[in-house]
Amino acid sequence: MCPNKDCDNISSKLCIVEEKIISSLKEWLKDYRLDYDEYALSAKNKKKNNYEESISNLRKELDVQKKKLSNVYDFFEEGTYSREMFSERCQLISSTIASIEANIKEFEKQIEIEEKKDEGKKSLIPKLQNVLDIYSSLQTAEEKNNLLKTIVKKVEYLKCEKAIKKDSDPTNFELDIYPNIG
């Protein structure tokens, strides 16, 4: 139902719109499965591998900085560094170490986000399949609507031509379906 009382959109029979929504969701599910399989093999692994590689490089740099800090203590104990120089070098290296540790935590957080996204994408497939399987068995429009709302944010409908002639197509309308992915 359109909430705009001045809307000039042309109506269609509910059963036709409903059928087109369900068939579009079935088609989307088929395409989504293919896309997800490709995603699981390529993009996800690349992104996660890049993060893990960055973490590995940062950990190596962290080890280098910790060795430098150890050397600073050694130089101070040997008298090579003055108290001021020791303090300055310690502060600089400690700052670098803190920055590296913060970057490592950020990359670990990004990996966790990617894993949650992956789980969300993976769980959408059976959820959508389940909705499509049980949709036709529901009795009331309210039950069907509530079920669709679990996988669809909204549907926008547009029809510009009336289907009043014998030869006219009653399915001559556009639907924009916005899935509830995350």
Over the stretch 136-153, which tens digit does the pLDDT of each residue have?
899 898 999 899 888 888
Q: Where are the beta strands (DSSP E) in 53-123?
A: none
Task: Say which residues have a Cβ less than 8 Å from residue 176's Cβ, sequence separation at least 6.
Answer: 155, 156, 158
The residue ranking higher by pLDDT, 138 or 30, is 138
Percent of all residues in the chain with a pLDDT value above 70, rounded to a whole number: 88
Q: Would 125 be classed as within a structural domain? A: yes
Cβ neighbours of 99 (radius 10 Å): 14
Q: Is the pLDDT confidence value at 175 over 60?
A: yes
- Count of domains forming the chain: 1
Is residue 8 domain-resident?
A: no
pLDDT at residue 109 in the model: 95
Does residue 7 lie in a domain region?
A: no
Judged against a pLDDT cut of 90, whether residue 34 lies above it is answered with no
Which of 49-58, 80-89, 124-133 shows the lowest mean pLDDT across its residues? Answer: 124-133
Q: What residue type is 159 in one-letter code?
A: K
In the DSSP assignment, the letter for residue 161 is: S
- Give the model's pLDDT for residue 41: 58
- Which value, to the nearest 10 degrees, does the dihedral of the CA atoms of residues 154, 155, 156, 162 take? -150
Is 159 within the bounds of a domain?
A: yes
pTM score of the predicted model: 0.56
What confidence category does residue 2 fall into, taking pLDDT thresholds of 50, 70 and 90?
low
Please indicate, yes or no, if residue 1 is contained in any of the structural domains.
no
Q: Which residues contact 135 (CB under 8 A, 6 or more apart)?
A: 22, 144, 147, 148
CA–CA separation, 80 and 72 (whole Å): 9
* 112 is a domain residue: yes
List own/partner pairs for 35-39 with CB under 8 A and 24 or more apart: 36/121, 36/122, 36/125, 39/121
Q: Is residue 9 part of a domain?
A: no
CA angle (67 as vertex; 66, 73 as ends), nearest 5: 95
Say what the pLDDT of residue 165 is. Answer: 65
Is residue 5 assigned to a domain? no
| CA–CA dist 62, 104 (Å, integer) | 10
Q: What is the pLDDT of residues 72-123, one digit of tens each?
A: 999 889 988 899 999 999 999 999 999 999 999 999 999 898 888 777 777 7
Q: What is the pLDDT of residue 36?
A: 67
- pLDDT on residue 89: 93
Give me the domain span that covers residue 68.
Answer: 14-179
- If pLDDT is split at 50, 70 and 90, which confidence band does 15 have? confident
